[in-house]
């Protein structure tokens, strides 16, 4: 029996990637730094993956092991693993490299690392960290892009509610084949990932941050708000042609990609939350990410960047109001923080526009109309 380690036993690691491994009869070990989660996994030894529309039989996952990060048991599991999946957040991949170092030492079998993270090229990030950490052994690093929403089931300790999503793209330049249901080989995966970030995740960021400032808790409710919907459609009128040129793809291909994302986001049967989807605004406001990169592409193609400037302001409000709770505290004020993340000067037009939108959000928060603020 092949053995797999899942580093990061949260909703994506436990509820999405695991089911592909389980269906191929891998012996699964979860590794996580969350002591409480590992204790519950070890006590229950089973959980159920349910599906939003009840269009698939729930998957009962059992027979796994669960160990805390840096434990001797975790080291042994890594040493025995054929397949190691990460679902920790791209910003934590440096920690992952340190975590696997002991287990990879003197390892005899070849190991496949697969990142299930959001980012432009998380496999490259992990590969760099593994090399810098001096991780030994014969290993390959590949990646997937996650299009599947997963949330915890209330009043259960471990159960997951998931989309019935079988699409599992993987980096075929690093791994020739992958024996998973729905596995689709993709060449030039960085281009594929960028397109996902600049389209799918761009829209997701717009919905979650604008939904947050308008007081929506549930993601689908925000996506179906008439004001937010109008903003999305206005944005894609500008962004789709720019992305077609940027990626050298057809109008039909890009519009189909966009429409698939919009259909998912507007589906209220897919329960998800704006606070969850907005997590890690410090990373998502970065220069290569879902807000600033599409904004720059719009500018480079003489398109209107105002919507993305507004989304940046909304993301800053989200971070400001959740700092010290679900997000890290800022050392400086919002605009200074934004400038430092993106290496911007305070007098640049984008900074002035974001500053103005911060003012407009705070002034109109009780009854905010984004289209009115942006376009009059």
Q: Assess whether 146 and 253 both reside in one domain.
A: no
- Are residues 180 and 227 located together in one domain of the fold? no
Q: Domain range for residue 77?
A: 3-187
Write the CATH number for 205.
1.10.1040.10
| DSSP assignments along 283-341, one per residue | HHTSTTSTTHHHHHHHHHTT---HHHHHHHHHHHHHHHHHBTTTBPPPSS-HHHHHHHH
Strands (E) across the chain are located at 3-7, 27-32, 46-51, 59-62, 65-68, 83-86, 111-116, 139-144, 150-152, 160-162, 168-171, 183-186
Per-residue pLDDT tens, the chain, 376 aa: give them.
999 999 999 999 999 999 999 999 999 999 999 999 999 999 999 999 999 989 899 999 999 999 999 999 999 999 999 999 999 999 999 999 999 999 999 999 999 999 999 888 999 999 999 999 999 999 999 999 999 999 999 999 999 999 999 999 999 999 999 999 999 999 999 999 999 999 999 999 999 999 999 999 999 999 999 999 999 999 999 999 999 999 999 999 999 999 999 999 999 999 999 999 999 999 999 999 999 999 999 999 999 999 999 999 999 999 999 999 999 999 999 999 999 999 999 999 999 999 999 999 999 999 999 999 999 9
Beta strands at 27-32 and 168-171: parallel, antiparallel or unpaired? unpaired
Same domain, 240 and 156: no
State pTM to two decimals: 0.93
In three-state secondary structure terms, 89 is coil
Assess whether 267 and 171 both reside in one domain.
no
User: 171, 187, 203 — which closes off a domain?
Assistant: 187
Residues 61 and 203 in one domain: no
């Amino acid at each position: 029996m092949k053995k797999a380690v899942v580093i990061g036993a949260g909703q994506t690691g436990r509820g999405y990637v695991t089911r592909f491994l389980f269906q191929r009869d891998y012996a699964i070990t979860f590794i996580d730094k969350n002591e409480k989660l590992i204790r519950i996994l070890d006590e229950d030894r089973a959980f159920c993956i349910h599906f939003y529309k009840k269009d698939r039989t729930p998957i009962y996952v059992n027979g796994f092991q669960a160990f805390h990060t840096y434990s001797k048991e975790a080291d042994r599991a890594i040493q025995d693993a054929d397949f190691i999946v990460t679902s920790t957040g791209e910003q934590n991949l440096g920690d992952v490299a340190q975590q696997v170092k002991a287990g990879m030492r003197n390892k005899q079998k070849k190991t496949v690392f697969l990142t299930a993270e959001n980012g432009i090229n998380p496999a490259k990030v992990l590969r760099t960290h593994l090399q810098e950490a001096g991780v030994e052994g014969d290993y390959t690093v590949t990646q997937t892009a996650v299009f599947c929403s997963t949330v915890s089931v209330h009043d259960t300790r471990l159960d997951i509610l998931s989309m019935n999503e079988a699409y599992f793209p993987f980096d075929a330049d690093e791994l020739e084949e992958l024996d998973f249901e729905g596995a689709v080989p993709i060449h030039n995966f960085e281009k594929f990932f960028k397109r996902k970030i600049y389209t799918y995740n761009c829209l997701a960021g717009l919905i979650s941050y604008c939904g947050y400032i308008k007081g929506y808790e549930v993601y689908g409710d925000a996506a179906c708000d008439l004001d937010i919907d109008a903003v999305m459609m206005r944005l894609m009128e500008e962004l789709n042609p720019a992305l077609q040129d940027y990626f050298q793809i057809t109008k039909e291909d890009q519009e189909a990609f966009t429409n698939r994302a919009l259909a998912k986001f507007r589906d209220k049967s897919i329960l998800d939350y704006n606070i969850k989807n907005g997590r890690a605004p410090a990373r998502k406001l970065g220069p290569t990410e879902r807000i600033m990169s599409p904004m720059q592409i719009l500018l480079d193609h003489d398109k209107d960047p105002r919507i993305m400037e507004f989304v940046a302001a909304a993301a800053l409000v989200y971070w400001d109001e959740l700092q010290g709770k679900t997000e890290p505290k800022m050392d400086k004020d919002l605009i200074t923080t934004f400038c430092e993340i993106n290496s911007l000067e305070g007098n640049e037009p984008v900074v002035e526009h974001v500053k103005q939108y911060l003012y407009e959000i705070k002034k109109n928060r009780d009854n905010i109309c984004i289209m009115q603020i942006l376009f009059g």
